[in-house]
Structure 1
């Protein structure tokens, strides 16, 4: 079966309207009902006594005679333009005419256009037609789906997974469990400099089991992969091109860091962002994180960070020493000893039993040896270790709870796709030309056990798997198995280029010079059989320009 013809779409549209009319007899008027109302109105005798139903018809409708044809219109006052009631069977052609007249306009545009002449074209009827228009499906803007996720990434141990990204010439690494981030300023995006900073961070905190990044050249270069020579167990994974949701955690942290850095520069009246980056790193790690229900510092080290700058405690210590120097007022109490002079007899009393304590001292040494085992459970190191284990366990529980909420919300927003469903896939700007639509239509041909979808389009099966939040389901099935190709694999850009009316992604321009420019295959535009444009050879005139 080829693409649905106009007759197929009209039949499907009419069938949907009849279903709605059967459920609720509203303003939609099938042909039989339309003719019946006209017959009742024409048969009504204005002088005779009327029934309540006839009064209702006369108050709402009016019959307009156009030659030999009777039209049903809304009751009007003098000198008003007639507003017609459309038959259900004619609704498709009426909406189609208005849709093309508004340039495939949206619902509100079409409502304004149709209400000028028709009284019973509803919003629901217009929405049904728009869902059957293939061009509207291709060009529609995708609704925002914030907070939706298909399969959240969960880690149980520190260092299991780290995410790295570049933000306006600054490098950022974040541990996925504790959300602890390390910020490093860079002078460029060269892979060698990024590798040097990663090496420094790994030698400080240890290399993670998995290092996740995007597909930037600074992360995919060979100098980065050479880090595996030092850490053979290090696994490097890269997200899908132009899909930052693959590492949404670090992308969200990037936004916070930008805002915090701007605020720090404003508070300190400076442009030295390299210095501010250190303060922002401390502020970010010591502040509360809603995802893990504590600060990243506490999740990593088992206790909250000291919020005060380290200079303040040092300056506070001298005053604490001064009181001890002032406490010699105890010296006046030295006056008391004269009154306690009888206690001077104590030394000889102590001298005589001084030998006895020597025999008593050995038992006094034994208790410390017995107390040592009891000190081990309360040692600061063991307490800190227990706090770290407890904090990270609670962090994992908080992230698990957050992941369950996100998945539940995503399933409520996004319905699961089935094999055979029609879908629209957004096309990134870099993969389409200015004359191409925003979306490409396809059909689901396979779903694996991880809910990853394989989608086929006219030119073939799109390379890679798609998750549910990367496409939208069509309301109606406009493509069938015969409309897509499943015997070859193509990239998204190639698929768009083959369906494009303007040649697909890319903007050809030339810099030809000379009096005979743009007349041979040496000219890029002439070779591609396209006309030169305003970007070619400084907008100078040539023989290959379109003449108006």
Structure 2
């Protein structure tokens, strides 16, 4: 049978019991920690019986004209009786009738009082609650509000998680491309795509560049085939990190033995975290090895006559060959793509030097910084006699003089040399000064 839902009244009763148990535990804890501390007799905790006796004592003290005791003088000087309908309550003595009314709350009614104020302010924090309670009440303390907030279910659910302290996490740092790579297998057996039930995820730790390969299963043959496609494009990483355990380590070692690469990378999964990685190691260069020795795979339907080794060699030549035409992106320009040609490859760092019609670019590019332009039919000549920056190259090649690379944030009419566009002899463009309608340089 299904359990009956807990009524709101039962929840409030449970919260009330927990609230008073926390208060009693706090009082007991303070008494045990400081047993010799002198306690001042205040009205912070006043039971309902003491509250009624105080009302009677105040009324009798007010009726007396003489012969009042010291306690009666104290009561009538500090408190007064206040009628709310048919209910008589004790409030702080006011100098005038316009002063704020502040009630003394009996101990048994503190929970209901805090609950009413808490709902009025909308489940706010302790300091807002304390300010709201002290506005019209005398004896509600910080400890009482803290105990109440620890019993409010909504406040507990809305409470932000405290930051973890005392735990030092040492980050993994990579110096450049192909220093560390991460690989894992994602299980799609519950949602397969035809025969493919696994996805191999390969990520370079430095550039965060991802490579995905669909797999029919996670056998050593399929994983090695997917890795061969990736390492012939990006090169073999110095460290290959994975949480698939010893099984994947064996597969990776077989792969590196297959491509004929022996060295630190062949044992990359066995490197200790404390091992020094500052010394540069060679990165896989496809031109240095006989790719015909790679384990043959099933021929694709599209290229039945092409062997796997020839297919991989063709991919490596297309992607890593010198004199190939590539397209690199240049942001904040009217012509965002720059057509270049690969003129030099630094294999040990997997970096490429590009040249365009304006000259050789002075920056080395990683493989993920440009795209290969297949079957390029653009007739252009590159210059190798000078080195220039990317933006200088765009400015020289652009028919508009590089407009779009220079922009201003003027608030006036852009008529003086304080305007960067006016100073460079160009008109302001759509990237300049937002919604400024005073511009005259258009």
Do they superpose with TM above 0.5? no
Which structure would you say has the larger RCO, counting Cα contacts within 8 Å and 6 or more residues apart?
1
Structure with a larger share of its residues in helix = 1
